[in-house]
Structure 1
Amino acid sequence: MNAVLLVPSQQAPDKYSIKTAPAYSIGLLLSLYLAQGLPVGFLTQALPAILRKNNVSLAAIGGFGLLMAPWALKFLWAPVVDRYFSPQWGQSRSWIIPTQFLTILLLVVISFLEPGALASPVILLSFFIVLFLINLMGATQDIATDGLAVRLLQTLQQHWGNAVQVLGSRLGFIFGGGAVLLLLDLWSWQVVFLLLTGFVVLNSLPILLFREPVWPQQIQVDGVQAAAKSNFQLKKWRKFFAVEFAYFWHNPQMQAWLLVLLTFKLGDSLSGAMVKPMMVDMGFSLANIGLMASMLGSVASVMGALLAAWLMKYMARSTALWWFNLLQILSFLLYAILAWQFEHGYIVVAWQVYCVNAIEQFAGAMALVAMLTLIMDYSRKQQAGSDFTFQVSVLAVTGGGVHIVSGIVAEYWGYSIHFGFCVLLAVLCLWPIFRWRKVSIH
C-alpha cells in the first residue's frame, strides 16, 4: 500500500465528485452503513437477549459492552486511515474493502458456533474474541466510510447524508438483530448466520463497483519519504495526537462542544443496555423480541431519522438537538414506569412494551441525526475521517463506559430504579447542551 499524505486545499471538488454526490453517493453510503450495521445489529439488538436466554447474568451482559471498545478507541488509528492508502484503490476503498472481506470471514466462523455451549467459559471467551475482531473491522471501516461521506456530501446534503447513516445502521439492526432473533426460532444457528453473511456480501458490491475520485487535498509522496514521516510520527505520537486534535479544545466554543460529546450518550447507553434483558425477564420469547421489539423499533427509528432530516431543513441544528434529546428522555421515563409495573406484580401488556420501545427508538434516531449533522459540521474537510471519528469515539467512550456498569446497576437496584436513574442522568446532561448553545450564540 503506497502512502498518501493529506494537506489542506483551497481547490474546489473535482467535477466527478460534484456529479456523483447527490443521488449515487446516497445509495453508496446507504449500502456501506447497512453492511456494517448488520453485525453491529446482532451485537446490540440480538446478543443481549440471546445471552439472557442462556442464563447469563446481567452483570456479565453489561460486561459485553467491552466489545464496543474498538468503536470508542478508533480515533487512535483514524489519522492512519485518513493518510495512508493505495491510490489505485482510492482513499476510502483501500480500507473499506479489506475490512468488509475480513468481517465476512469472521461471520462464517461464528456460523459454526453452537449457542448452547455458551455456558462453557472457553466457548464464551472464543465467542467474545471473534465478536471483538468483527467490531475492530467495523470500526476501522466506519472511519473510512465517514470520511467518504464528509468528502462526498455538500453542506445542503449533510442532514440527508446523516439520515442515510442512521437509516442504514437501523436497517442493519432490523436484519442483523430482529430478523436473527426471529429466524433462530425457525432455523439453525449456522443457516441464520450464513444468510447474514450473504446479506453483508450483497451490500459490499456497490463499493467494489465504485470508482472513487482523486480528492483535491491529496498529495502523493515518495514511499521512502512517507515511511520516514510515519516513523517520525510514531516516535512522537503523543505530540502528534495533541497537534492533530487540538482543534477540539482551542477555543471556548469547541470546549463547550467537547463537553456535549462527553455527556450526550450517558443516559441512552445506560438505558439501552438493559432493555432486551428486561424483556426476556418479562417472559417475551426471542422471536417476539426480534419481531416486535427489534424490528418494529428499528422501523420506528428509520421513521424518526427521516422526520428529523426533514425537520432540520426548518430548524436550527442546536435547537433540533435540544428538543429531540428531550423527547428521548421521555422514553426513558416510560421504561421506568413499565419496569415499576413489572416489579410490583402489575400486568404489563405486550403492546405497551412494544410501543415504548418504538417511541424510544424513534426519539433516539431523531437525536442521533441532529448529533451526527453537528459532528459533520465540526469536521474539517482535509481530515474528515479523523475529525468525525474522534467526535464519534468520544460518544462511544462515555457511552460504552456506562454500558459496562449498566448490568451491575440493574442487578443491584432493579430495573425500575435503573431506568429512573437514566432519566435523572439524561436530564443533568442537558446542561452541557444549554451551555454550548449559549457559548455558540456569543
Structure 2
Amino acid sequence: MDRELVTTDGVFVPSGPAHASEYLALALMYFAQGLPSGLAFNALGALIRQGGHPVAEVGLTGLAFLPWALKFLWAGPIDNACARWGHARLIGVTQTLAVLLYLGLAPFPPGTYLVATLIGVIALNSVCATQDIVTNAYAVSRLQGRAAGPANAIQVAAFIAGMLAGGGGLLVLHAHVGWADTMLLMALLLVLLYLPLGFGRRWRDGTAPRPATQRVRLRDLRRHADLGWALAIALLFKFAGTAISTLVQPWLVDRGLSLAQVGTLQMSNLIANAVGGVLIGVPLVRWLGDRRAALAGCVIVAMLLGTAWGLQVNGLHDARIIYVAFGVQALGEGAMYVAVWALFMNWASPQRPGTDFTAMQCCESLANGLAAGVIGGLSQRVGYGHAFALAWLAGGIAVALIAWCLPRLNLLRESRA
C-alpha cells in the first residue's frame, strides 16, 4: 500500500502520499456545496427582480448568507457526528437532503412564492454549510502536510465551479426551461455528483466510525494557545479585498458598463481565482512553506489592491483594460486564498478538524460582511477614489499585522517537505 493509517489519541492520521480518490472526493463535495451558494448569491436576486418584486426585496437574499457565517455554532456536534458515524455517511445524508430541497423548491418560483422560495434557499444553504463542516473535517484529518496546498486549490476551484454552475448556469437553464425544470435538473446534478462518492471505496478509507477520546465543543478552540493570532489572520486577510470588490460593482456601472458586462467580469474573475489558486498558490506553498507562502500571497494581493484606485485616478474606462487589470488581481487573490487555507489546514487539530477549520472560515465571513457594510458609506462620504485609496491602505496595514502574527502560529505539520 502507498499509505498507512496511524492513530494519535484515538484519531486517525494519514501518512504517506494522498490518494487521487481523496482529491476527487473533495472536488465533488466542494462543487456540490457551491451550487446553492451560486443560486443564493449570483442568481436569486435577478430572479426576484425579474418576478416583479421591488429592488429592496432583493436584499432578502442576504439571509442565505447566515448559515455560512454562523456554521461554527454547530461545528462541534458535526465533528462528534463524524467521529460516531464517519464522514462518508454524513456526506450521503446531507447530499440527500439537498436533493430533496431542490425538488421541494420546484413548485415555488420566486416571482410568485417569494417567501417559500427564500425559506427553501436558506434551508438548502444551511444543509450545504453543514456538509462543508464535514468536508472540512475530512480534508483536515486526511490531507494535512504537503497535501494541504493541492487540497485547498481543489476547494477554491471546485467551489467556484459549483457557484458558476449554480448561479450563471442556473440562469441560462431557467431562461430555456423555467424554474421547475431547472430545480429538477439541479437535483439530478447532485445525484450524479454523489454517485462516484456512493460507489467509491478508496476515499472512505479511514473515515469509518471511530472512538473519540472526548466530545468536541466550540470552547475547545481555546486549547490552541495561539488562537488569538489565528483569529487575527482570518479576520484580516480578505477584509480590504472584499471592501474593494464590493465597491467595484457600482463603480463599474457608473463607468458605463452594462449589467451583462459586470456579470461577465465577475465570472472571469472567479475563473482567474481558480486558475491562480491551482497554478500559483500550490507551487507557492510547496516552495515556501505555509507561513512564507501565506505572507507572500498577502503581499502580492496588497500591491494589486491598488488596481481600482489606479483605474479611477487615470480615468481608464475601457472594458478590455478593466477585464485584464482585475483578472490579474484575481489571479493573485486565488493564490493567496490557497496559501492561507493551507496554513489553517495544517494549524487545525486532528481532534476537532471540522470545528477548527470552520471557525476560521466564519471569521473570514464576518470580516467580509463588515467590509461590505462599511465601504458603501465611506464611498458616499469621500468618493470612489479616496475610498479605494483608504481600502488599499487598510490592505497594507493588514499585511503588516499578518506578518506579525504568522511567526506566532503553531502548525502541526508543514506543506513543504
1:218 aligns to 2:195 (yes or no): no
Whichever residue aligns with residue 103 of structure 1, its letter is A
The aligned runs of 1:162-177 (5 Å cut-off) are 162-177=152-167
1:33 aligns to 2:30 (yes or no): yes
The aligned runs of 1:396-411 (5 Å cut-off) are 396-409=365-378
For residues 368-398 of structure 1, the C-alpha deviation after alignment (integer angstroms, 9 at most, x for no partner) is: 1011101111111122111111222222222
Whichever residue aligns with residue 88 of structure 2, its letter is R
Alpha-carbon distance change, 124 to 325 in structure 1, aligned in 2, over 3 angstroms: farther
The answer to whether the 8 A contact 1:308-1:370 is kept is yes
State the 1:149 CA deviation. 1.1
The answer to whether the 8 A contact 2:86-2:208 is kept is no
The aligned runs of 1:191-202 (5 Å cut-off) are 191-202=181-192
State the 1:430 CA deviation. 1.6
The answer to whether the 8 A contact 2:244-2:388 is kept is yes
Distance (Å, rounded) in 2 between the aligned partners of 1:288 and 1:111: 30
1:362 aligns to 2:359 (yes or no): no
Distance (Å, rounded) in 2 between the aligned partners of 1:309 and 1:216: 29
Deviates more, 1:187-196 or 1:131-140: 187-196
The aligned runs of 1:116-195 (5 Å cut-off) are 124-182=114-172, 188-195=178-185
The answer to whether the 8 A contact 2:48-2:111 is kept is no
Alpha-carbon distance change, 11 to 116 in structure 1, aligned in 2, over 3 angstroms: closer
Alpha-carbon distance change, 23 to 403 in structure 1, aligned in 2, over 3 angstroms: same
State the 1:158 CA deviation. 1.4
The aligned runs of 1:55-70 (5 Å cut-off) are 64-70=61-67
Alpha-carbon distance change, 375 to 439 in structure 1, aligned in 2, over 3 angstroms: closer
Whichever residue aligns with residue 198 of structure 2, its letter is L
Distance (Å, rounded) in 2 between the aligned partners of 1:82 and 1:339: 47
Distance (Å, rounded) in 1 between the aligned partners of 2:361 and 2:344: 8
Question: Identity, % of aligned pairs?
Answer: 26
State the 1:281 CA deviation. 5.6
Distance (Å, rounded) in 1 between the aligned partners of 2:19 and 2:35: 25
The answer to whether the 8 A contact 2:83-2:212 is kept is no
State the match for 2:4 in structure 1: none
SS of 1:312's equivalent?
helix
The answer to whether the 8 A contact 2:272-2:331 is kept is yes
The answer to whether the 8 A contact 1:52-1:277 is kept is no
Whichever residue aligns with residue 94 of structure 2, its letter is T
1:43 aligns to 2:40 (yes or no): yes
SS of 1:84's equivalent?
helix
Distance (Å, rounded) in 1 between the aligned partners of 2:49 and 2:318: 21
The size of the alignment, in residue pairs, is 400
State the match for 2:222 in structure 1: 246
Alpha-carbon distance change, 400 to 293 in structure 1, aligned in 2, over 3 angstroms: same
State the match for 2:415 in structure 1: none
State the 1:172 CA deviation. 1.4
Distance (Å, rounded) in 1 between the aligned partners of 2:404 and 2:58: 35
Distance (Å, rounded) in 1 between the aligned partners of 2:47 and 2:283: 36
Using structure 1 for the length normalisation, give the TM-score: 0.77
Deviates more, 1:302-311 or 1:209-218: 209-218
The answer to whether the 8 A contact 1:269-1:399 is kept is yes
Deviates more, 1:31-40 or 1:66-75: 66-75
Whichever residue aligns with residue 169 of structure 1, its letter is F
State the match for 2:414 in structure 1: none
Alpha-carbon distance change, 217 to 104 in structure 1, aligned in 2, over 3 angstroms: closer
State the match for 1:391 in structure 2: 360
The answer to whether the 8 A contact 2:105-2:183 is kept is yes
Deviates more, 1:329-338 or 1:71-80: 329-338
SS of 1:348's equivalent?
coil
1:269 aligns to 2:242 (yes or no): yes
For residues 188-215 of structure 1, the C-alpha deviation after alignment (integer angstroms, 9 at most, x for no partner) is: 3444444333333322222222443455
Distance (Å, rounded) in 2 between the aligned partners of 1:186 and 1:405: 39
Using structure 2 for the length normalisation, give the TM-score: 0.81
2:228 pairs with one of 255, 258, 267: 255
Whichever residue aligns with residue 246 of structure 1, its letter is R
State the match for 2:76 in structure 1: 79
State the match for 2:98 in structure 1: 103
Alpha-carbon distance change, 396 to 112 in structure 1, aligned in 2, over 3 angstroms: same
Distance (Å, rounded) in 1 between the aligned partners of 2:403 and 2:32: 36
Alpha-carbon distance change, 202 to 273 in structure 1, aligned in 2, over 3 angstroms: farther
Alpha-carbon distance change, 95 to 336 in structure 1, aligned in 2, over 3 angstroms: farther
Structure 2: runs of 5 or more not aligned = 1-6, 411-417
State the 1:285 CA deviation. 5.0
Alpha-carbon distance change, 432 to 98 in structure 1, aligned in 2, over 3 angstroms: same
State the 1:75 CA deviation. 1.6
Distance (Å, rounded) in 1 between the aligned partners of 2:100 and 2:191: 10
Alpha-carbon distance change, 286 to 99 in structure 1, aligned in 2, over 3 angstroms: farther
